Structure 1
Amino acid sequence: MQATGSSHSLALRRGDFTTLIEALDYAAKGDTGVNFYNARGELYATSTYADLQVEVVALARRLLGLGLEPGARVGLVAETSPHFVRFFWACQYAGLVPVPLPATMHIGGHAGYVAQLRGLIENCGAAVAMAPVEWMSFLEEATTGLTLSFVGTPEDFDRLTPSTATLPTVAPDSIAYLQYTSGSTRFPRGVVIDHTTVLANINDMASHGLKMTEQDRFGSWLPFYHDMGLVAFIMMPMATQRSVDFLGTQDFAMRPRKWLEMMSGNRTTITSGPPFGYDLAAMRVRPSDAEQWDLSALRVACVGAEMINPEPLKRFAEALAPSGFKSTAFLPCYGMAECSLGISFAGLDEELQIDYVDAEQMQEDSIATPLDPEEAQKSKRRVARYVDCGALLPTFEIAIRDEHGNDLPERQAGVIHLRGPSVMSHYFQEEAITRECLSEDGWLDTGDIGYLANGRLFVTGRRKDMIIIHGRNIWPEDLEYLAKTQPGVNYTDAAAFSVPSDVDQQETAVLVVQCRERDEIKRARLVKTIASLVRSEFGIDVVVELVPTRTLPRTSSGKLARARARLDYLGRRQAAKMQHQPEPANSLPMDEAMPQVRYIA
């Protein structure tokens, strides 16, 4: 078996099509396609776009044989496999709407995952649903009692009788897919994206953000149910006629080195991930490994997060330098499902640009006043740092607004508002929520906080995550950063938020820290150190709770879910009250099965 090549004789088109169907029809004239690698790094499935198109059309006819109405939703458990890719494109040709469903279990286990699946299927009103064999038992349980036309594995669908009717004509303004956001304060919302909208974004990103060439090749481990995995690595490669190589998300989590091996072997030029993904890979790399790999072709390593931490990227660049990886390949960007995907990109072939600002003025007045780090150290002023997420793609308009909707000047932080052809039309069957964030004249309230400087965008956090203590704005990332400076506390091990005090109902800062240390003296010292750092840096007291690893909840895309972490914390606090147990001072968990311990510092 041989992976598809990186080039062919087709003229490069960067997503300038009217529908995704038209895009696949064009890509099928070439020799590029999709390739899948297993946990051992072995290629186990490959298909050119030409072969894929034949399979997709056959499956589309089988779906239509079920008598589904145009625009009916098809729930797809989005495991990283050829099955999902085939079903996603078959839905396009059949005039149906694919709905990617998560293929992962976090805290809550079996019951939580089944409830999540059921909620999503009910919310989108799916007519049929598919899951690979290994996920089928969960899907069957989730759809028990629901009225669906068909629920089955890919093999079950392949045994259906195909329709002999002509495939429907799909209009550019038809819904291409529903993308559920990884919301944490309410049930995830279904973002409605049509063909014109997503192709406008793909064209914008390919032409201006990535400046794609005929030599480009994609490589990814990102989940297909996340906007980055779906748009950037399923749709964009096909719409630009490029080959793409996939490693399963769970396989990456267990063996991140296989991602690097895959990119080395295939001369990957474009990849992407959140900072913690690069950090995980860097932790598993041995110098002898890096010397054997060749990542010199990797010209774009996109980095996306609400607020980008440069430290993991620095560690990755240092660990992979022997492989030829260049730190200038890192491409900070800003995006969200409500805008299809990409919104802004930093410059190609540039080192990370960091804006150092007066932290106290940012907290007090939301003004990003530049501050030289060396001068700040002399004057004992605290410095906040924000990564430059670049200039907006040409089709977007941006406004930074205060809480009253007034436009703010440069370097004044406020809520980011966007308008452009890549913005969603609405949330699926959520008219009231749509009105909350999308104005009649097309401006989207992103809920993200940021500021502009010299035409560049700097994202500082999420509005809903802001901690307000005694009228001061404190970013949770700043508190989390202090915890992560301590030995044994990794990049993903801390969550900060505020809760009402038991005493006076005033807001109190809380830091939940995943801790692997079992020695109770060292644990107590860790709590005291973190609390002292917070008091020294911010002048506030903080509750520090040490919890076992894998306690902090994450969204479907792997991001920290602070709102859920806060609810979990309040639940533990309430349970302790119900048991009439005092705050433990010296009783420490000896393994992950034992209860968490909270210290008040």
Structure 2
Amino acid sequence: MADTAATLRPTPTDDGRPMRQSDFGTVVEALDYAAQGQKGFNFHDARADLVRVYPYAELAADARRYAMHFIAEGVQPGDRIALIAETGAGFAAAFFGAIYAGALPVPLPLPTSFGGRDAYVDQIRVQLNSCDPVMVLSPTGLYPMVAEAAAGKCAAHDWSQWFAADAPVVALPQAKPTDIAYLQYSSGSTRFPHGVAVTHEALLANLAGHAFMMKVGEGDRVVSWLPWYHDMGLVGCMLSPMANQLSVDYIATEDFARRPLSWLTLISRNKDATLSYSPTFGYDICARRISHSIPVAERYDLSRWRVAGNGADMIRPEVMQAFVDAFAPAGFKASAFLPSYGLAEATLAVTIMPPGDGIHCDLIDERTLSGAAGDARADQRLPTRYRAIVNCGKAVPGMTIEVRDEKGRVLPDRKIGRVFVRGLGVMAGYFRDPEATEAALSPDGWLDTGDMAYMKDGSIYIVGRAKDMIIINGKNHWPQDIEWAIEQLPGFKAGDIAAFSITTPSGEEAPAVLVQCRTSDNDERIKLRDAIRTKVKAITGMSSVVELVPPRTLPRTSSGKLSRSKARLQYLSGEIQPFEVAA
């Protein structure tokens, strides 16, 4: 039963029970233990006001009831149950209910502001084809779209109605640590999705590892706006607090998108909030939204925020510094930043910096990044340019990292190569996709992450995605460098630019840049295009194809990150239509 406004009290930060750091055999055991205490989930609205309290004891009871519903409907162990991952009690109960029933919950994304209704229906349809569920459950507001996507594939239900009646009491199956617990779609898996199969033991090993690295303990409390269909939100901010018996305060992702500063309001109001994570763009948008006319010190109190985690995309030191500059008057400490590296195929965390160390950068010669170090043809008279690469920390317990060259040889420190990881948190494989599994996972358990990085003193420094690298005349160009440089021009922000390589009509490779343009004046567009071309040439030494496109055109992954590969495909296919700019 939902609480009334007059009786709402958040679940406590401490309840006197001994904390266990994810040392359970299965997710079921973890929730059953958490349910013996008073902690749990707390849901807040867009104004950061508490609207629903959901103790773990209530969640566990609902999950068992949902599990009996599933079994009564004929769900068998190993069946998939797709769930639209709305931040709320309904999704949480259905997710754990599927696990209690021995089925595999499959979180699917909410609609984004990009692409519209048809694109969302198509995305859900593709992912349903991939995971082949026996049913898909949806919140009421999205049910018509979800039912359309599921037509001819599986049953679709509005979970607010489907679970209304009591279910017959039946015995629940007993999970084993080696059983698959759930399927996770990685953020880039939209058109050709791969469901990452995560076992109970892999999940709990990873949760224990990153709780140890972050020094999670009594007195910690989590605040999150991250979506539950992405690994950082699902694993880091839902499953981890439960398995480590922490209370959590949530605002929905769509509420954060509308009112980003509600995230900081929630942290400020909650005197126990100590842990909160975000990709770089979350910190960026908050720093941009704060008004100089607002007395930050009076409006916010961020002094107890001890772990401001950062991951899921490239960490940009200048953005993080802008956040510090904006919110230091509210007590925010730069040392609270905690860079990390991870991916869904490794459950979540691969590396984490020590809490309290903040952001540390290594300056690396751009010729090294481009693969041109030692090139005798390079003009030695030109000044050396450096790029600051963020230290993403050391491996969590149970994980091993190697950086290898193209021949599979392990590279020494400060040599860039491809990242491979092995350990307890690595996926069992891609669901029903042996070819993709074989391509990513070696027989001896090494996962090819697809990321490029180098090691230094046991820590990893991520430089980009291998598939995004632009290689022209044998020289490597990182699209992030081109995009970041253009963002320094007036009027642009993170996510406005997509850089990739194309073949020109003359048969030559060239960098192409799509830029979301907000001006309708032709003369201004000409000046803008010329400024961008000049900027790109300064970076790459080459002429580039610059196309101005309408706002909100560039495609995103389900977690909101720019999809360069999809932008390239849509541009080459004509799906993205640039503005015509008269000479």
Counterpart AA for 2:201: T
1:203-245 superposed Cα distances (whole Å, 9 cap, x missing partner): 000012x110101101111110000000011100011110001
Aligned-pair CA distance for 1:452? 0.3
Partner of 2:488: 485
The answer to whether the 8 A contact 1:366-1:413 is kept is no
The answer to whether the 8 A contact 1:102-1:556 is kept is yes
Q: Aligned runs of 1:154-553 on 2, under 5 Å? A: 154-160=159-165, 162-183=167-188, 187-208=192-213, 210-267=214-271, 268-286=273-291, 287-365=294-372, 380-504=383-507, 506-553=508-555
Counterpart AA for 2:427: M
The answer to whether the 8 A contact 2:482-2:539 is kept is no
- Equivalenced residue count is 568
Supply the distance in 2 between the matched residues of 1:530 and 1:144 (Cα, whole angstroms): 46
The answer to whether the 8 A contact 1:30-1:49 is kept is yes
Aligned-pair CA distance for 1:523? 2.3
Partner of 2:19: 12
Supply the distance in 2 between the matched residues of 1:223 and 1:301 (Cα, whole angstroms): 17
Partner of 1:596: none
Given the two structures, how large is their TM-score scaled by the length of structure 1? 0.91
Supply the distance in 2 between the matched residues of 1:70 and 1:574 (Cα, whole angstroms): 44
Supply the distance in 1 between the matched residues of 2:83 and 2:472 (Cα, whole angstroms): 43
Given the two structures, how large is their TM-score scaled by the length of structure 2? 0.94
Partner of 1:579: none
The answer to whether the 8 A contact 1:184-1:564 is kept is no
The answer to whether the 8 A contact 2:232-2:312 is kept is no
SS at the partner of 2:112?
A: coil
Counterpart AA for 1:257: L
SS at the partner of 1:305?
A: coil
Supply the distance in 2 between the matched residues of 1:290 and 1:568 (Cα, whole angstroms): 45
Q: Give the percent of matched residue pairs that are identical in Structure 1 and Structure 2.
A: 42
Structure 2: 5+ residue runs without aligned partners? 1-7, 375-379
SS at the partner of 1:502?
A: coil
Counterpart AA for 2:495: T
Partner of 1:81: 88
Partner of 1:586: 582
SS at the partner of 2:183?
A: strand
Counterpart AA for 1:254: R
Q: Does 1:136 align with 2:143?
A: yes
Return 410-419 or 542-551, whichever deviates more: 542-551
Counterpart AA for 1:173: T
Supply the distance in 2 between the matched residues of 1:256 and 1:423 (Cα, whole angstroms): 33
Cα-Cα RMSD: 1.9
Aligned-pair CA distance for 1:493? 1.1
Match of 1:59 among 56, 63, 66: 66
Aligned-pair CA distance for 1:586? 2.0
The answer to whether the 8 A contact 2:279-2:313 is kept is no
The answer to whether the 8 A contact 1:76-1:131 is kept is yes
Supply the distance in 2 between the matched residues of 1:366 and 1:401 (Cα, whole angstroms): 18
Aligned-pair CA distance for 1:156? 2.5
The answer to whether the 8 A contact 1:106-1:553 is kept is no
The answer to whether the 8 A contact 1:172-1:194 is kept is yes
Structure 1: 5+ residue runs without aligned partners? 368-376, 577-582, 588-601
Partner of 2:377: none
SS at the partner of 1:512?
A: strand
Counterpart AA for 2:437: T
SS at the partner of 1:445?
A: strand
Supply the distance in 1 between the matched residues of 2:14 and 2:101 (Cα, whole angstroms): 29
Return 452-461 or 317-326, whichever deviates more: 317-326
Counterpart AA for 1:179: Q
Counterpart AA for 1:490: K
CA 1:234–1:156: 2 relative to 1, 3 Å? same
